[in-house]
A and B are shown apart, each in its own frame.
Chain A
Amino acid sequence: MENKTSMTGASILWECLEREGVKTVFGYPGGAILPAYDALKGSKIHHILVRHEQGATHMADGYARASGKVGVAVATSGPGATNMVTGIATAMLDSSPIVCITGQVGSKLIGSDAFQETDITGVTLPITKHNYLVTHASEVARTIREAFYVARSGRPGPVLVDITKDAQQTTCDFDWEAAKPQLPGYRPDLSPERKEYEQALELIRNSKRPVILAGHGIIISGAMAEVREFAEKAGIPVALTLLGLGAFPASHPLNLGMMGMHGEAWVNHTIQEADLLLAFGMRFDDRVTGNLKTYASNAKKIHIEIDPAEINKNVKVDVPLVGDLREVLHQLLPHVETIDRSEWLDSIDQLKGDAAVRDIQNLPDSGHLYAAHVINDLWRETRDGETVVVTDVGQHQMWEAQYYKHEKARSLITSGGLGTMGFALPAAIGAKVARPEAEVWVVAGDGGFQMTLCELATIVQEKLKVNIAIINNGFLGMVRQWQEFFYERNYAATPLLNPDFAKLGEAYGIRSMTVTERSQVVPSVQAARQHDGPVLINFRVEQEDTVYPMVAAGASLHEMIRRPSKIVETADDE
């Protein structure tokens, strides 16, 4: 291609997406984006037609989380664009790099309340990392390049590009080289000062009871090997956030498991008793700290974080190391000393006897089907392969986090910060598109599944092998649990009258089954894995089961609601 070619804004859009490495976009056409769709025929990019624009954004998000690459969603102006809001906010809170392209009414009509006109850059201003309104074809190339650069660099996040219809239609010279990003104020690459490294090493050296708090930043930064080397060299145990699961192998002797509201008691007690917290790419969310006044009050804190605005936001830290986690760990690792911390590790081991979550494989079958059974069996069956579990939000999400042992990064995709119900099904589509060789499982509750179930049609139309496990308890389970604990069992608006999910799946042409007994779980999972198309399994589980332990909102991290009687006995843990 020559340096300069005359092209329409619409053609430039697809050309730039291709040059940014985009193979697939998730979208839904409409009036203001039609010129772009018309130009799609000349592009190598595969367009996946979604059933709702929220689905497109979750798919782009799932694609990004499964692959680490930027996911792309496309929609028209007005309602198409506003339907993206939930997905954009989800990506924002979980630092997921997506680029959303929206059509906009013609530039001369902006501000006139034209048909399907919404000020989407205004609407999404607080929930995007950055956004753009493009009114000239000549701005398309630079804007797309900037959008991808901003979305994936530094702390990643969603970027929205709103392109007016005339900017898509008019023609201009296209010159990729000349359209370099011009972002004079954007500084994603920060690094700590030498003295901060020294202070951090000093704290680590003097610590007797250190804990690493492993967050999503490890996965984003690709620092899994460095974290492992750090933990092993320094002999420091690792507690993980929900989005950190997979960043450190579940089977590793130094892995404590998930911390926070539904973390095991020993994890939270360990954090409360620590004399040093090493926060790696996490942001001290209220779900992991509980009451800030009593949070790890005897511990010094080192915070390795790429976003300076996170430092001292919730928890006051002693040493901030602002920079890319992988780079920072590379600097620290040669100076980390091997110190015998067996006394500390032994004391944590003693706490582990007090577990809520056990291997339940060998429990007698009492006729009840618990969600824990389903997830534990699913883990057993799929653990050896390259499996990606995509969860929705609620009780099943916490059970997944507790009972599915994630060994690898990007093997769990879940909406953490925003807690977006309806996330799982579309995000799983994105994950499958990003990693076709992976076995992708949706684990969703009966409530959240119904928020975006229209995307079953997308799975079928695209011939995607996605397996769906609905953890169906006939309740909005997590809300019901809060009502049980904090609202005197007043189950206001939480019981669900559901459709027959198996029939629903069949209606879409998806092989479906219903499982009501524990003995059917493994055969159903095996059948799903053997079938070469998508499979939906409706697991009818115990209706009023509860996630334990639980730190009530605002309570101190060590004050946990425990399981009242032991329904599970220990078997040999794996």
Chain B
Amino acid sequence: MLNTYVVYVENKPGVLTRVASLFRRRAFNIDSLTVGRTEKPEVSRMTITVDADHDQARRIEANLYKLVNVLLVENITTEPAIVRDLAMIKVAATHEARSHVLELASVFRARVVDVAPDSLTIEITGGEDKIDGLLEVLRPYGVLEMVRTGIVAMRRGKSSAPVSTTNNTDHDVAEEDVSHSV
């Protein structure tokens, strides 16, 4: 099954390589990996989806923790979470097709972000299913170009354990942050 991890890492050069290399080395297939800034400049946040069974999923978590720059790993696969993907889709839209495409975009609550004489570019945000759905109905008009960011995810309700990289020289990470049983 697809597992979704939220991974907090130190914002340092080479950390993305370390994470990506880990998946390659242990022969786990990344389905999607996104990385970006967080509310703390010294921390980056990754959302990683991987196809793995239960045991593999636990070992992925344990292996991620072996990377010195990894601060926190959460497997949110079975937790209530907001999961979003963003796509930009350039659709062939000649004069007569244009209104149909606009209508479809509006049904999917997508936005038109660029209009050219023979094409429209639509931006859509949502779960992967929603984007797949829009893509499917647009295909007959001719999808000229598409880009997707891959998913970002956030647990609903309570916040993830805060992570600080300052004043933590004694490695005194709170006990509840430590994954004991694997």
Contact = CB atoms under 8 A, between A and B. Distances in A.
Interface of A: 121-122, 125-126, 129-130, 133, 150, 180-193, 196, 307-309, 311-313, 316, 320, 322
B180 A130 contact: no
A190 B178 contact: yes
Contact of B17 (A125, A181, A184, A316): A125
B173 A322 contact: no
30 contacts: A122-B17, A125-B17, A129-B66, A133-B14, A182-B165, A182-B168, A182-B169, A183-B68, A184-B163, A185-B65, A185-B67, A185-B70, A185-B71, A185-B72, A187-B65, A187-B173, A190-B180, A191-B180, A192-B180, A192-B181, A193-B181, A196-B180, A196-B181, A307-B62, A308-B65, A308-B179, A309-B65, A309-B182, A311-B62, A311-B182
Contacts, number: 82
Given A191-B180, A308-B179, A185 B69 contact: yes
B10 A185 contact: yes
A320 B181 contact: yes
B99 interface: no
Interface of B: 9-10, 13-14, 17-18, 21, 25, 55, 58-59, 62-63, 65-72, 163-165, 168-169, 171, 173, 178-182
B19 to A, nearest CB: 11
Contacts of A308: 62, 65, 179, 182
Contacts of B171: 183-184, 186-189
Given A121-B14, A309-B65, 14 more contacts: A125-B18, A182-B165, A184-B71, A184-B173, A185-B68, A185-B72, A187-B171, A187-B178, A192-B180, A193-B181, A308-B182, A312-B58, A313-B59, A320-B182
Given A126-B21, A185-B9, A187-B178, A307 B66 contact: yes
Given A126-B21, A311-B62, A312-B59, A184 B180 contact: no
Nearest to B70: A185
A322 B61 CA distance: 14
B66 A309 contact: yes
Q: Is the interface of A mostly helix, strand, loop or mixed?
A: loop
Of B21, B66, B71, B163, the most chain A CB neighbours within 10 A belong to: B66
B112 to A, nearest CB: 41
A80 to B, nearest CB: 21
Contacts of B25: 126
Nearest to B18: A125
Contacts of A192: 180-181
Contacts of A187: 65, 171, 173, 178
A187 B165 CA distance: 13
B63 A309 contact: yes
A182 B181 CA distance: 26
A308 B178 CA distance: 11
Contacts of A121: 14
Nearest to A316: B55
A275 to B, nearest CB: 23
Contacts of B163: 184
Nearest to A122: B17
B170 to A, nearest CB: 8
B68 A130 contact: yes
B18 to A, nearest CB: 6
Contacts of A126: 21, 25
A454 B25 CA distance: 33
Nearest to A307: B66
Contacts of A189: 171
A184 B164 contact: yes
A58 B168 CA distance: 34
Contacts of B62: 307-309, 311
A322 B180 CA distance: 7
A130 B58 CA distance: 21
A193 B176 CA distance: 12
A181 B164 CA distance: 15
A549 B6 CA distance: 49
The 10 residue pairs across chains A and B that have the minimum distance between CB atoms: A309-B62, A308-B62, A185-B71, A180-B169, A308-B182, A184-B165, A130-B68, A184-B168, A309-B63, A126-B25
B165 to A, nearest CB: 4
Nearest to B22: A126
B65 A184 contact: no
Nearest to B10: A185
Contacts of A186: 68, 171
A196 B72 CA distance: 23
Nearest to B168: A184
